[in-house]
Every structure is written in C-alpha cells, then in structure tokens.
C-alpha cells in the first residue's frame, strides 16, 4: 500500500484498524527516504532507532495500552530542535558534533503522544535564509521541480512532507520560515501565536520572534500536531497559559458571517499576477460560504521588512555569541584567544550568518542603538497596533503567502535584498506576535501557490475554521509531485 499521500487522520485509521502496523509504516517511509532523499537532500540524518520506536508502539497497542494521539505516526524534526542523543547543528558548521543533552519540550510531548521521530530535516545555516541553500549540508530541492528551491529556512521539513517522505514535520518560524516553504511546496504550514508553543530546546535565532510549528498536508493535521505540542512550559518563561487549547476534532467548516480582511498594502504591484488571481479566486470561495469580505489597511506594513531586518539580526548576533568553538561544536585553533575566536567563527559561520551578525552588532553598538534598534522597536509597536485595530473589525486577515512561487536554485544567492523580499508578506505576523497559516490555493507554471490567513492572538481556531472550509471545497492540498 502506498501511504505517501495519506494524511495523519488516514494513517491513524489504518493503524487503529490493524490494516497496517507502526513497524510496516515506518519501514515504508524509510524505503521511500532511501530512494529519494539522496537527490532531494530533505533529511540530513535518519535516526537509527526508527524501527525500534515503531515496534514499541505496536507492542503497546497489542497489549491494549494507550499509544497516544500520534501513536505510530512518523514525523520529521527540523535540525534546530534538540533531541537527546541526536547531533543537532542548526545546519551550521560551527555546531558540528553538537549532541543534544536533553529533549526540547515539543520533542518530549511528541514522544508522549507516540510519534515516531524519523530524523533531522535540512534547513538554512542557523535558520538564516529563505531557500535552504545556505545549509552546511548543501541545498534542498523542491519536489515539484528539482531545479527550484523549497523555500526556507524550514525547507527540508517542507520538501520531506511534499515528497511523501513523512506525513508531517516540525519547522520553526522566525519571519515566515514555516509558512513560506509550505507555500512553495504546496502544503499547510502554521506559525502559532508567540508563546503558544514552548521554545525550550529550540536553538535560538531571534528570541522574540521564534516559534515552532507544524508543516502538514491538511489543516486538520496541523491542528492535531499543535494540540500535542502547545501549552505552558515552566522551562520557557515566554510560554503562556492558554485561554483555549486545540482540539482538532472540534474544528468545523461553518464560516457564515465570519469577516475576512484584505489589506490593500499586500495586493501591490510586483506580486505575480497569477498569485493574485488564485488568491482572489479563493476569496470568492469564502464569499460563497457566507463570509464577509472587507478591505482594510495596515498602514505601517511598508516598514515591516526594514524593522524586521534590524531587530532580528540584533537578537541573532546576541544569541550566536555563545557559539565560539570553546565549549561545543566546531573549533579552529589560533595562537591566542582572539585569533581562535576569529578563525572559528569566520570558518564556522556561512556568509549569510556573518552578514546578519555584523548587521546586528552594528545596530546595537554605541551611537547607532537609538538611531536604528530603538526606532525599529517603535515601528514594531506601530505594526502590532495596526493588527490589533484591524482584527477588531475582522476575524481573519487574508493575504498571499509569498509574492512569487519557487525560484531557481542559485537565482537569488548573490542578491540578499531579493532574498529578503521573499518574506515580505510573512514577517508582519512575527512582528505582531499573532498566529498565521499558509494553505495551498492553486498553481502557476506547475508550481504551488499559497494564501496566508492571519488571526487574533491565540485565535488559531478561526484560522483552522477558514482553512478547513477551504480544503473541504477544493483539492489543492491533495495534489502531490509526480
């Protein structure tokens, strides 16, 4: 049986009925990875105990024990989320040989839910990139067209799910790194509200932005994974007690009377006309179901990219200061401490990471802090206020996820600004700390298009309702690469 296109819901039914076992399911995916991953480079490493994990689930199920809501479901893990005993490097040379000393909170919760941890998925170097081309392990290819990028920085996770190597994978989203690759690979990708999911055990890039989220085929699958990994964690002071928890089975598709806002600042010149056409066709589907469509304004949206690329590098430069080659990871010797630091970090960090560290260090330095960093924080506050005001009038904001579909490998590597512009529609949700989700809504040039739904803080349920309705009347999410 080919299960490569099945959803978690379908897989759970087969496992619970006894039609397949967790061991046979794991074996299927391992064979598929063996056949395809050398070319795709979606996985960096496969865990050596995948079959053992699956056998343990089969034994528990046969004994009538509770195997958890994900009992036997394989999942890929982005290479910046700690798993005890695994090498976890954030796809950066400077963390080469770094072994996870403990499980991230999301990993422990996945284990408790019976998920099978398959292996490490590729990503941009230290999560810095929009194409998964800066990885120390080489670029990942898009399964829809292997001459194209899968997006980034969670491109390995997206490519793995799109290619049917796993039914679901975890990514992390700092400025769109779950949603943008989900869009470019024809998948559903969720960035939860900041604080909904614990960051404990996530290798930090920019601590006030980072959130872990699922990449899956369907909204229902994304909701199910969120229900497992979300919730207050005493090990993460930014995690919160949730006003409501996710129950995937309760997500309905009745959107009559819901208000959708279309921000005029997002439907701009420069966006691919085919993307705009597909997104507006999706809007018509929502109108048919009784949703109300309103034009809204997010007046400070034009400053989001500039503010993000000041605040994010500043936080990244501070976070990456601990990576010096002395306590863990890559080490290059020198005649003195300064030379050791310089050589280790110069060799261990790739060009994009070095660029952002230097930019962040500059904006935090004396004489420039007020002119750049403080001003960017003020702009971030204005952007958040824009979203707060808009979401008083509408339930959900709808935009394109990406201004383009997947581009060719190498096309933007020599033009950092062009690469940064790939995230222009996603970064605002991170600045405003609100939830956002990308779902597939069409194709152009045989490549997937994604639309983005943005909600109120902790309003993931509204996103799930809108997305689940759309997927109940369309089949874009059922398409898979040949």
CATH number at residue 57: 3.90.1300.10
Angle between helices 219-229 and 8-17 (to 10 degrees): 80
Distance CA 471, CA 185 (A): 16
Q: Are strands 168-173 and 188-191 parallel, antiparallel or unpaired?
A: unpaired
What are the beta bridge partners of residue 119? 46, 76
pLDDT for position 179: 98
Mean pLDDT, residues 170-184 taken together: 98
Domain that holds residue 432: 1-482
pLDDT for position 240: 96
Residue 270 has pLDDT above 80, yes or no: no
Confidence of residue 440 (pLDDT cuts 50, 70, 90): very high
pLDDT for position 244: 84
Catalytic entry in 91, 177, 227, 278: 177
Mean pLDDT, residues 104-110 taken together: 98
Distance CA 436, CA 446 (A): 25
pLDDT for position 325: 86
The answer to whether 137 and 37 are in contact (CB under 8 A) is no
Average of per-residue pLDDT values in the chain: 96
pLDDT for position 463: 98
Classify the phi-psi angles of 458: left when phi > 0, otherwise alpha if psi is within -120 to 50, otherwise beta: left
pLDDT for position 328: 86
Closest CA to 286 of 254, 313, 315, 316: 254
> Would you call 276 a catalytic residue per the annotation?
no
The answer to whether 68 and 112 are in contact (CB under 8 A) is yes
pLDDT for position 163: 98
> Would you call 177 a catalytic residue per the annotation?
yes
Confidence of residue 335 (pLDDT cuts 50, 70, 90): confident
Lowest pLDDT segment from 136-140, 174-178, 338-342: 338-342
Distance CA 188, CA 178 (A): 9
> Would you call 445 a catalytic residue per the annotation?
no
The answer to whether 15 and 21 are in contact (CB under 8 A) is yes
Distances (CA, A) of 456 to 153, 248, 365: 25, 18, 35
Confidence of residue 268 (pLDDT cuts 50, 70, 90): confident
Confidence of residue 2 (pLDDT cuts 50, 70, 90): confident
Residue 295 has pLDDT above 90, yes or no: yes
pLDDT for position 4: 86
**Eight-state DSSP code of residue 442:** E
The answer to whether 37 and 132 are in contact (CB under 8 A) is no
The answer to whether 188 and 222 are in contact (CB under 8 A) is yes
Residue 248 has pLDDT above 90, yes or no: no
Mean pLDDT, residues 227-235 taken together: 98
pLDDT for position 350: 94
Distance CA 373, CA 212 (A): 25
Residue 278 has pLDDT above 80, yes or no: yes
Confidence of residue 312 (pLDDT cuts 50, 70, 90): very high
Residue 269 has pLDDT above 80, yes or no: no
What are the beta bridge partners of residue 442? 449
Catalytic entry in 78, 141, 148, 412: 78
Residue 458 has pLDDT above 90, yes or no: yes
Phi/psi at 455 (5° precision): -125, 180
In three-state form (DSSP H/G/I as H, E/B as E, the rest C), the secondary structure along 181-231 is HHHHCCCEEEECCCCCECCCCECCCCCCCCEEEEEECCHHHHHHHHHHHEC
In three-state form (DSSP H/G/I as H, E/B as E, the rest C), the secondary structure along 321-368 is HHCCCCCCCCCCCCCCHHHHHHHHHHHHCCHHHHHHHHHHHHHHCCCC
Q: How many helices (H) and strands (E) does the chain have?
A: 15, 11
Find how far residue 281's CA is from the centre of its chain: 25
Contacts of 256 (CB under 8 A, 6+ apart): 289, 290, 291
Residue 274 has pLDDT above 80, yes or no: yes
* Tokens 């969720």 -> residue: 190
Confidence of residue 180 (pLDDT cuts 50, 70, 90): very high
Phi/psi at 446 (5° precision): 65, 20
Catalytic entry in 130, 135, 153, 154: 153
**Number of structural domains the chain divides into:** 1
The H or E element that residue 309 is part of is helix 304-319
Confidence of residue 70 (pLDDT cuts 50, 70, 90): very high
Closest CA to 406 of 457, 440, 364, 456: 440
């Amino acid at each position: 049986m080919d299960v490569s296109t099945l959803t978690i819901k379908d897989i759970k039914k087969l496992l619970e009925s006894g039609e397949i076992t967790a061991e046979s399911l794991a074996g299927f995916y391992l064979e598929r990875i063996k056949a395809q991953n050398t070319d795709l480079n979606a996985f960096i490493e496969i865990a050596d105990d995948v079959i053992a994990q699956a056998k343990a689930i089969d034994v528990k199920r046969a004994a009538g024990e509770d195997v958890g809501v994900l009992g036997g479901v394989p999942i890929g893990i982005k290479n910046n989320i700690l798993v005890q005993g695994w090498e976890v490097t954030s796809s950066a040379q400077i963390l080469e040989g770094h072994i996870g000393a403990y499980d991230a909170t999301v990993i422990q919760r996945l284990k408790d839910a019976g998920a099978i941890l398959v292996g490490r998925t590729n990503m941009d170097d230290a999560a810095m990139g929009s194409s998964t081309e800066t990885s120390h392990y080489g670029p990942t290819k898009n399964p829809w067209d292997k001459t194209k990028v899968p997006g980034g920085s969670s491109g390995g996770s997206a490519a793995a799910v799109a290619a049917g190597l796993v039914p679901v994978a975890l990514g992390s989203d700092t400025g769109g790194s779950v949603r943008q690759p989900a869009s470019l690979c024809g998948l559903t990708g969720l960035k939860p509200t900041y604080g909904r999911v614990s960051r404990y055990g996530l290798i930090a890039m920019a601590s006030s932005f980072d959130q872990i989220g699922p990449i899956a085929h369907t909204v229902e699958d994304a909701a199910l994974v969120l229900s497992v990994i979300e919730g207050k964690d005493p090990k993460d002071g930014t995690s919160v007690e949730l006003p409501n928890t996710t129950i995937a089975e309760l997500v309905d598709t009745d959107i009559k009377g819901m208000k959708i806002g279309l921000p005029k600042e997002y439907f701009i010149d420069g966006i691919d006309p085919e993307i705009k056409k597909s997104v507006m066709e999706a809007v018509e589907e929502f109108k048919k179901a009784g949703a109300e469509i309103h034009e809204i304004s997010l007046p400070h949206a034009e400053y989001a990219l500039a503010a993000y690329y000041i605040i994010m590098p500043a936080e990244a430069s501070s976070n990456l200061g601990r990576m010096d080659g002395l306590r863990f990871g890559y080490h290059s010797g020198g005649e003195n401490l300064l030379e050791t630091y310089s050589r280790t970090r110069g060799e261990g960090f790739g060009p994009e990471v070095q660029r952002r560290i230097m930019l962040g260090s500059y904006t935090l330095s004396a004489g420039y802090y007020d002119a750049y960093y403080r001003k960017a924080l003020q702009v971030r506050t204005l952007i958040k206020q824009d979203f707060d005001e808009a979401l008083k009038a509408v339930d959900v904001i709808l935009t394109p996820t990406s201004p383009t579909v997947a581009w060719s490998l190498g096309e933007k590597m020599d033009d950092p600004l062009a690469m940064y512009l790939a995230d222009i529609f996603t970064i605002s949700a991170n600045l405003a700390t609100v939830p956002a989700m990308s779902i597939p809504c069409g194709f152009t040039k045989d490549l997937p298009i994604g639309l983005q739904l943005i909600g109120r803080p902790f309003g993931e349920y509204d996103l799930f309702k809108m997305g689940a309705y759309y997927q109940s009347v369309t089949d874009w999410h059922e398409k898979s690469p040949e």
